[in-house]
């Protein structure tokens, strides 16, 4: 989700209006360029500029200010207010604006919008929908159109616009919080980019908006000018909403540039105010051939309810031509990256755990026994971090490459004819030391795919080395059950609550979380 600080211009000054009322104006500066530079320096992704004079009268008196702004900063700007004819749009684009926001004219003529999209491109044209109680207001919010906001949004999308900006007038400039329900309603209707505007009063509002699936951006105005929070702090502390790569410049040993060659993390965040500061990095299973969603997102959705921030790792696979140590590199990088962001993301660098199932459990047990303390001399700050997890959860995990091993996982990881030395080095019951992190280990008696002996051997090795662990062997449940697969729909297998009990003992869960 991108963040767009707002600059509202009236008579060349930076102002904010209360619910769009020109008589309730606060003047913040006579120097719009200074504010533009400030918002860029503090991390704004775009700048949202509104020409209020043009919005009220249809005639722009601020184009020179707009041109000075676009010439002074490198982030893109969008401009709304008075964009009611082709000449106004062309003049704004000539002034360096990257995107035009059409408001009043969209209510009057969607044919005009469609023509502008065809002439300038969908990426250049947005429609601004300003509504109160679901009804669109026009001409600087001075008139009601009797058009429903949802109807106008659907028509604008059909006309080909690339972006819709939805402003809830009742909350704009009031610092009362966004209209989350209406934003969700809009997101359910639209496939184009949607930007939310109005009501943001605190950082938690932005974080909550960031959890709305597919929300493209949020415009922030009065809260920044009144300094209820700092944009720079917001940008630093915001965990990315979408999947992001472990190595932006490309992973070591990548054999291509397709999605399967790019290891990533996908974040899942607890509700605002419930985060414990603990993290679980999740390694889905799938025999090093595929990644099982119910052992990735399924786990994340469960653990975030207990205040744990989760990241699902998409690691490289044998089915795409990769072999050890690429999978271990991806797992170690994931832990290092999260730990390196501890301060920015407000997480505890000593509460970073991992959970893996089946072959993902093998990867987790591999990291638990093959971690390192980082490279303090590396130019890459992430690589300076330790890859040691603070807690390890192993779900029906492949552990051994001996008589109880899983042939398919071994071949995808090591190839057809690995040496005995290589097999032993990744038979992780043989690699446990006193420095191995505490573990929660479970399997079922009924699992015929990855035999329970894997878990028993690992637990015995932990015991021998004096490493704390919980071991659970349940009679019922076949391989790959995840949280509840194969049981009563909606139910949880007992391991889930046993694991929560154990995580609480490790300090990962606060007593006031569910």
> What positions carry a catalytic annotation?
8, 130
Please give the backbone phi and psi of residue 327, each rounded to the nearest 5 degrees, phi first: -65, -45
d(CA 323, CA 309): 29
**CB 508 within 8 Å of CB 308:** yes
d(CA 307, CA 278): 8
Residue with tokens 């025999």: 287
Residue with tokens 């600059």: 7
SS3 216: coil
CA angle 158, 160, 164 (to 5 degrees): 90
For the four alpha carbons of 374, 376, 380 and 385, in that order, the dihedral sign comes to positive
Q: Which residues contact 111 (CB under 8 A, 6 or more apart)?
A: none
Q: Which residues of 89-128 are buried (b: 16+ CB within 10 A; e: fewer)?
A: bebbeebbbbbbbbbbbbbeebebbbebbeebebebbbbb
**CB 105 within 8 Å of CB 152:** no
Q: E strands, 30-76, where?
A: 47-51
In terms of Cβ atoms closer than 10 Å to its own Cβ (0-12, 13-18, 19+), residue 413 is buried
Residue with tokens 């329900």: 181
Q: Identify whether 325 is preceded by a cis peptide bond (ω within 30 of 0).
A: yes
Strands 125-132 and 2-10: unpaired
Find how far residue 166's CA is from the centre of its chain: 21
Tokens of 60: 């722009």
**Residue of 395, 406, 391, 355 whose CA lies nearest to 482:** 395
């Amino acid at each position: 989700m991108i963040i767009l600080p707002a600059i509202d211009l009236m008579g060349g000054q930076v102002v904010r209006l209360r619910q769009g009322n020109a008589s309730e104006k606060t003047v913040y500066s006579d120097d719009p360029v200074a504010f533009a530079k400030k918002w860029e320096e503090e991390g704004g992704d775009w700048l949202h500029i509104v020409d209020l004079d043009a919005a009220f009268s249809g005639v722009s008196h601020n184009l020179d200010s707009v041109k000075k702004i676009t010439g002074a900063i490198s982030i893109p700007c969008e401009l709304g207010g008075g964009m009611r004819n082709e000449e106004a749009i062309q003049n704004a684009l000539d002034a360096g604006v990257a995107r035009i926001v059409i408001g009043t004219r969209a209510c009057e003529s969607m044919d005009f919008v469609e023509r502008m999209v065809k002439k300038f491109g969908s990426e250049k044209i947005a429609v601004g929908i300003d509504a109160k109680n679901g009804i669109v207001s026009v001409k600087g919010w001075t008139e009601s159109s009797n058009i429903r906001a949802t109807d106008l949004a659907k028509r604008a999308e059909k006309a080909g616009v690339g972006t819709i900006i939805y402003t809830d007038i009742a909350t704009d400039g009031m610092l009362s919080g966004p209209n989350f329900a209406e934003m969700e309603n809009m997101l359910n209707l639209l496939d184009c980019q949607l930007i939310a505007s109005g009501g943001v009063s605190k950082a938690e509002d932005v974080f909550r908006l960031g959890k709305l699936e597919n929300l493209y951006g949020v415009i922030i105005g009065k809260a920044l000018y009144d300094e209820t929070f700092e944009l720079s702090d917001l940008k630093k502390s915001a965990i990315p909403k979408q999947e992001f790569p472990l190595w932006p410049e490309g992973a070591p040993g990548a054999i291509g540039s397709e999605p399967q060659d790019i290891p990533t993390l996908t974040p899942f965040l607890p509700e605002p105010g419930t985060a414990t500061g603990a993290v679980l990095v999740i390694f889905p299973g799938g025999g090093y051939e595929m990644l099982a969603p119910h052992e990735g997102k399924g786990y994340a959705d469960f653990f975030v309810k207990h205040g744990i921030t989760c990241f699902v790792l998409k690691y490289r696979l044998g089915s795409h031509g990769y072999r050890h140590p690429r999978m271990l590199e991806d797992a170690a990088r994931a832990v290092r990256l999260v730990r390196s962001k501890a301060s920015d993301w407000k997480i505890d660098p000593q509460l970073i755990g991992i959970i893996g199932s089946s072959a993902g459990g093998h990867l987790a047990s591999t990291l638990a026994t093959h971690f390192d303390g980082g490279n303090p001399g590396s130019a890459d700050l992430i690589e300076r971090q330790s890859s040691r997890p603070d807690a390890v959860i192993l779900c029906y995990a492949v552990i051994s490459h001996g008589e109880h091993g899983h042939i398919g996982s071994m071949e995808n990881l090591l190839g057809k004819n690995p040496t005995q030395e290589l097999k032993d080095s990744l038979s992780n019951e043989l690699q446990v030391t006193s420095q191995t992190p505490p573990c929660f280990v479970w399997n079922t008696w009924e699992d015929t795919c990855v035999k329970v002996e894997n878990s028993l051997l690992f637990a015995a090795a932990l015991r021998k080395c004096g490493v704390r662990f919980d071991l659970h062997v349940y009679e019922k449940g076949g391989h790959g059950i995840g949280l509840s697969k194969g049981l009563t729909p909606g139910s949880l297998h007992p391991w889930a609550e046993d694991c929560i009990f154990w995580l609480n003992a490790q300090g990962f869960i606060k007593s006031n979380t569910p």
